Amino acid sequence: MSADDTVSTKRDLYRVCRMSNLIPPLRKKARMKEVKSAPLPVAVGVYTDVASAVCGWKVYQASYANGIVTVSNASHARALYKNGYFGHGNLSESGINFHERGDVISESVLDRRKEWSQMSEQELSRSKKKFARASVKEENEPILVVNSDSAQDVEELEGHMEEDPFPITEKLHLTLEEAFFLSYALGCLVVTPEGKREGMNIDQMWTTFCNDSDVFPFHYVVYHRYRSEGWIVKPGVKFGVDWLLYPVGPPFYHAQFALKVQSVWSDDFTTDDMIPFSKIDWISTSAFERLCNHVVKAPVLCHVLRPRNMTKERLSSSPKCLEELKIYSVLLSRWIYDQNAETKETKPK
């Protein structure tokens, strides 16, 4: 799909949905402090206005362990999030902004970090603290220690400079779908299993991710489709859905679409019981629509059509199976009797 086709697809979707009043209008977020960056972390001319070149193609490094893809390099983590909003920081509620408030801590936090600095690795792993030794910088840096735990305005803070006994750096966590898209579609991410020196190739990544999650192939094909169309696709666990679609990025606008993914057989459109998806029936669909209506998002059911001859072994062997998986999306809207034009004409007086 070309860039022109992508833009046309998004415009057609907007036009059809807005004409039928199926989706709410764009809602900007208040107090936007972030500046828009490139939509992708690589030089793709049609999207970033930067000419594509092999010598200038950025490659990022990540590690993989226990079903989590982690980007430890601070510059890599920031580039991946700021340019396309991939992943989220392990110390931030959203995005990667733990250190944006500056190196300012209170006396109580300083005392706590001094305790952590005296602990051994085993004691830290057993301790139910917010931060772990894996998030510690190699070198200590000076920080501003203030007396008040409730101080907010950095310009008005009064305190003293002291060396941080337990300095912390934030890492970026990627979902399996985000990591595979960066490697498979953009070719800019190398994922290395923990304890190994060489990164995985595309087939190894696909097989590993499929073994870790039975729903990965179906979630990924939906993720890939909407990412390719220019949407910012983020996990929707907060709203009980699989994906959220943002027109620009989470710091600027609220999500417009909420997606639930379901695998069905392509020949008769019945539910694929071999995959442990959440059950979709009339009650759950009604609850899904009402929840989305309450949070001002358009609900979409994404049915992934799976051929009968595609076994689980074949599905997890290679990403070539993506060519055979089709997506059938349904935009939901609650039918209200009193607001329906046809019923108004036939309704007895």
The continuous run of DSSP H or E covering 232 comes out as strand 232-235
3-state secondary structure of 204: helix
Please report, for residues 65, 75, 213, 255, the alpha-carbon distance to residue 275 in angstroms, rounded to integers and kept in the order given: 23, 38, 10, 27
Active site residue 219: no
Report the DSSP beta bridge partners of residue 162: 143
Question: Which of the following is catalytic: 82, 88, 260, 297?
Answer: 297
Are 261 and 219 in contact, with CB atoms under 8 Å apart? Answer: yes
Output the CA torsion 178→182→186→188 (10° steps): 160
Token digits for 75?
């510059």
Amino acid letter, residue 98:
F
Count the Cβ atoms, other than its own, within 10 Å of residue 341: 6
* 254 is an active site residue: yes
Catalytic residue among 81, 246, 260, 303: 246
- How is residue 212 written in tokens? 């870790």
Does the annotation mark 297 as catalytic? Answer: yes
Q: What are phi and psi of 287, to 5 degrees?
A: -65, -40
Q: Check 10, 58, 99, 254 and give the catalytic one.
A: 254
Active-site positions read: 246, 254, 297
